[in-house]
């Protein structure tokens, strides 16, 4: 699943890069974009969103804005992969426990293992690991459940560090663009020997647009990151509760022997 989404991210990145290259091939790309905006403004019509975004992208500079968009594409691919993984990890634990209890009463440990093998999700995997050591006593089963629960938590959190990295990098790239834009503005002032608004406007515009782009990307990824964390917390609570009930079920089963 992760490879599939990374493939989509790379495909999207290549498509986006191709669009950038085609935009840069047109010699006066920025001037044309400004002319389009002026044309719409003169006609009294609203500028289409995609046209406005394209204009701002060109004005912000293809270099830094491309890096910021790359952070968004890869970060979103990782976030969507985690969301789908967690969605498939959700299990009706009450129904699973009832099925395990019925299987233990009907066919013993082997029948309960079969139920767990046929059920997806981390809870079923934890139960299966506990059932594998059912003949070693309840204490061993409990320790196994705790240990394997940690393994499942690590699997659920896999990739979150990369999303966090892109959340940090995106605004940093924006601020870097801001610094470079300010340097360009001061270079223009030095070359012109004047501090008129027209001299510094270009560098200041690049600075502000890259900062806004980086902050927007970071906010979008932060929303997805917090949603994923909330889903993991919900699943972990469900895992802990169902594990306690499973241990109680195993105690009852051993007492009936």
- The string over 88-103, giving b where at least 16 C-beta atoms fall within 10 Å of a residue's C-beta and e elsewhere, is ebebebeebbebbbeb
pLDDT at 225 (0 to 100):
96
CA triple 245-235-115, angle to 5 deg: 55
Tell the residue number behind the tokens 């498939």, with chain if given: 88
pLDDT at 168 (0 to 100):
92
pLDDT at 167 (0 to 100):
94
pLDDT at 35 (0 to 100):
42
Which sign does the torsion angle of CA 172, 176, 181, 183 carry?
Answer: positive
pLDDT at 195 (0 to 100):
66
Measured CA to CA, the distance from residue 141 to residue 130 in angstroms comes to: 5
DSSP, residue by residue, 109-163: HHHHHHHHHTS-SHHHHHHHHHHHTGGG-HHHHHHHHHHHHHHHHHHHTTTHHHH
| pLDDT, tens digit only, all 257 positions of the chain | 555 444 455 445 444 444 444 444 433 444 444 443 443 444 445 666 556 655 655 565 666 788 888 999 999 999 999 999 999 988 888 899 999 988 988 888 888 899 998 888 899 999 999 988 888 888 888 899 988 988 999 999 998 999 999 999 998 888 887 777 777 777 777 776 666 666 566 666 666 778 888 899 999 999 999 999 999 999 999 899 998 898 888 888 877 76
Measured CA to CA, the distance from residue 217 to residue 171 in angstroms comes to: 8
Q: Tens of pLDDT along 191-218?
A: 766 666 665 666 666 667 788 888 999 9
Q: Please count the other Cβ atoms lying within 10 Å of the Cβ belonging to residue 104.
A: 21
pLDDT at 55 (0 to 100):
62
Spatial neighbors of 238 by CB under 8 A, at least 6 apart, are 91, 93, 123
- Please answer whether residues 198 and 56 qualify as being in contact, where contact means their C-beta atoms are separated by less than 8 angstroms: no
Angle, in degrees to the nearest 10, between helices 138-156 and 62-89: 150
pTM score over 0.85: no
């Amino acid at each position: 699943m992760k490879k599939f989404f990374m493939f989509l991210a790379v495909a999207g990145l290549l498509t986006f890069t191709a669009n950038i290259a085609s935009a840069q091939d047109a010699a006066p790309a920025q001037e044309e974009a400004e002319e389009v905006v002026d044309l719409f403004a003169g006609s009294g019509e609203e500028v289409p969103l995609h046209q406005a975004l394209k204009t701002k992208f060109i004005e912000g500079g293809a270099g830094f804005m491309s890096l910021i968009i790359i952070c968004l594409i890869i970060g979103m691919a990782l976030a969507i992969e985690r969301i789908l993984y967690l969605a498939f990890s959700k299990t009706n634990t009450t129904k699973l426990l009832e099925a395990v209890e019925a299987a233990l009463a009907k066919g013993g440990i082997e029948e309960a293992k079969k139920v767990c093998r046929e059920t997806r999700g981390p809870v079923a995997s934890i139960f299966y690991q506990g059932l594998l050591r059912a003949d070693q006593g309840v204490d061993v089963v409990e320790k196994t459940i705790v240990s394997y629960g940690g393994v499942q938590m690590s699997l659920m959190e896999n990739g979150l560090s990369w999303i966090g990295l892109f959340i940090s990098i995106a605004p940093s790239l924006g601020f870097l663009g801001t610094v470079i834009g300010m340097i360009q503005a001061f270079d223009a002032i030095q070359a012109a020997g004047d501090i008129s608004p027209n001299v510094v406007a270009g560098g200041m515009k690049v600075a502000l647009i890259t900062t806004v782009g980086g902050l927007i990307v970071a906010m979008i990824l932060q929303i997805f990151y917090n949603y994923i964390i909330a889903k993991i917390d919900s699943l972990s609570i469900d895992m802990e509760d169902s594990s306690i009930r499973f241990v109680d079920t195993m105690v009852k089963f051993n007492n009936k022997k």
